[in-house]
């Protein structure tokens, strides 16, 4: 067996391929795992060793800790990288990896536990001086008591699952009469999604921007690599990300960065992580949660800071220091990321499944594609709908938007529907172009999601159509002979037509 250290990549799709490439550049070998549905996936061929772990349903493959640890043993891996999703933020998996004598590429299980429970995280952040959204720091145990708490917090309030994110177990409540039904629904949804029905209340911040700070911590220091703006969301699911944010000046970046570093230090963090904040219009910001893993949107930070975050994760896990220079880090240029999903915007963003018949990828200066599929692969309902990410870099935001438009126009996917057309509409929208966005932006702009013009444009088009029809009608009118002309019948017919 090879003497080169091996990393078990406990994931699939684009992030598995991304990690495998980082392993090879870092001088490590990669062990891939795959379900029966993924046996022909690109990440399987890219790895040095690939092992099957079960049927397509995640509960029988990618979520089976025992099978993943067995694959690590069989493949000769000494490190385990969880990627994102699946078991990436499950403390019991991190503990099991360490308990099996392997190296976990990520933060300690204790940090995952502390940040995984939203109310526990809020308590710790409050103690560390990190601003949090006003609200409860303990789960609701008596629904009736929630009514008084909501009154004290002030409506509207947000009911949130304590054990998860992604919009699940979350309800906005505008009045007391709706609170108890919302608690019941959110708790039920949280139980199904996370196996924990605990929920809590916090103030609902109107029209905030969703801004997150990337942190990186080794055994010597913790640093931040600026912000990413993730305000373009549909049902709390991010669709477009960019770095830096048009709303964040250098002074605010340093304040938010310092808060993120304090948050990481409060839980003894190691590796790459992300602190998510709500940024209000007045410049105040509030800790939302910490993602104790690599993020889907990490490439935009890599492009503006010139760092490979996954390689840094691998180095830190092996006890090596990060390669980032000491002192303040400054973003260079602008990066945009569009998530390409197998969803049909024309049909309510319903998932689209089938075989990818043809795939042409964008290329050229400043364009990056992070994908996990190729022509001939099957897109199924077993997993997330993400096909890949188009990421671009340019000297400024306007040029990045233009470059992204060009890249999306080059992308061709046939066999399954995608959200590509949505992204092109968004890029052409004047509000997006001037960065007039917030996390509720798409709630107010269903025209961008559905592909229909906004109400003002519909009205203008209706007026234009009526004028065009009137002009055409006038052109169709027969010429009426002058009074005294010889063709009286023709003249009378013309008059009758004109009166219709």
The C-alpha atoms of residue 470 and residue 151 are separated, in whole angstroms, by: 58
* H or E stretch at 81: strand 79-81
Collect all residues with Cβ–Cβ distance below 8 Å to 63 and sequence separation of at least 6.
86, 87
- What is the distance between the alpha carbons of residues 151 and 290, in angstroms, rounded to a whole number? 28
* Nearest of 8, 5, 4, 3 to residue 75 by alpha carbon: 8
143: its two tokens: 């629904």
Residue 190: phi, psi to the nearest 5?
Answer: -65, -40
Run of H or E including 227: strand 222-234
* First-last CA distance in the chain: 91
Which residue numbers are catalytic? 293
Sign of the torsion formed by the C-alpha atoms of 491, 493, 496 and 500 = negative
* Residue-wise DSSP of 23-67: HHHTT-EEEEEEEGGGTTSHHHHHSSEEEEEESSSGGGTTT-HHH
Nearest to 244 by CA among 139, 123, 329: 329
Quote the CA–CA distance of 246 and 244 in Å, as a whole number: 7
């Amino acid at each position: 067996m090879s003497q080169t250290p091996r990393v078990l990549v406990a994931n699939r799709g684009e992030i598995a391929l991304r990690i495998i490439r980082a392993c090879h550049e870092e001088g490590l070998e990669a062990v891939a795992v795959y379900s029966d549905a993924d046996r022909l996936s690109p990440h399987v061929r890219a790895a040095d060793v690939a092992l099957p772990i079960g049927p397509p349903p995640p509960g029988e493959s990618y979520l089976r800790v025992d099978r993943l640890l067995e694959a690590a043993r069989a493949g000769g891996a000494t490190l385990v990288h969880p990627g994102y999703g699946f078991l990436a933020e499950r403390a019991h998996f991190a503990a099991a990896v360490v308990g099996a004598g392997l190296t976990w590429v990520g933060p300690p299980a204790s940090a995952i536990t502390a940040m995984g429970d939203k109310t526990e995280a809020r308590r710790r952040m409050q103690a560390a001086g990190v601003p949090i959204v006003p609200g409860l720091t303990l789960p609701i145990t008596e629904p009736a008591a929630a009514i008084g708490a909501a009154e004290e917090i002030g409506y509207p309030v947000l009911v949130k699952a304590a054990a998860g994110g992604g919009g699940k177990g979350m309800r906005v409540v505008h009045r007391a009469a709706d609170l108890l039904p919302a608690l019941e629904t959110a708790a039920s949804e949280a139980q199904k999604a996370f196996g924990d029905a605990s929920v809590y209340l916090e103030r609902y911040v109107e029209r905030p921007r969703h801004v997150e700070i990337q942190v990186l911590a080794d055994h010597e220091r913790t640093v931040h690599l600026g912000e990413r703006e993730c305000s373009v969301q549909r049902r709390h699911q991010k669709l477009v990300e960019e770095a830096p944010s048009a709303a964040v000046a250098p002074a605010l970046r340093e304040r938010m960065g310092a808060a993120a570093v304090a948050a990481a230090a409060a839980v003894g963090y190691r590796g790459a992580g992300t602190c998510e904040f709500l940024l209000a219009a007045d410049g105040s910001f509030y800790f939302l949660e910490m993602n104790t893993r690599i993020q889907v949107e990490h490439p935009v930070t890599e492009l503006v800071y010139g760092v490979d975050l996954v390689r840094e994760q691998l180095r830190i896990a092996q006890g090596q220091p990060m390669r980032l220079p000491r002192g303040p880090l400054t973003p260079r240029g602008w990066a945009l990321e569009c998530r390409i999903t197998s969803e049909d915007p024309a049909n309510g963003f319903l998932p689209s499944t089938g075989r990818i018949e043809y795939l042409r990828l964008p290329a050229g200066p400043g364009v990056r594609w992070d994908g996990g599929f190729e022509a001939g692969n099957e897109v199924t309902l077993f997993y997330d709908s993400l096909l890949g990410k188009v990421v671009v870099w340019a000297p400024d935001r306007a040029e990045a938007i233009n470059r992204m438009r060009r890249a999306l126009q080059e992308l061709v996917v046939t066999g399954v529907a995608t959200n590509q057309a949505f992204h092109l509409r968004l890029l052409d929208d004047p509000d997006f172009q001037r960065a007039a966005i917030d996390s509720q932006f798409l709630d107010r702009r269903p025209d961008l999601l559905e592909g229909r013009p906004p109400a003002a444009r519909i009205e203008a088009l209706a007026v234009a159509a009526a004028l065009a029809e009137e002009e055409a009608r006038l052109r169709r009118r027969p010429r009426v002979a002058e009074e005294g002309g010889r063709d009286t019948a023709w003249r009378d017919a013309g008059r009758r037509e004109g009166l219709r």
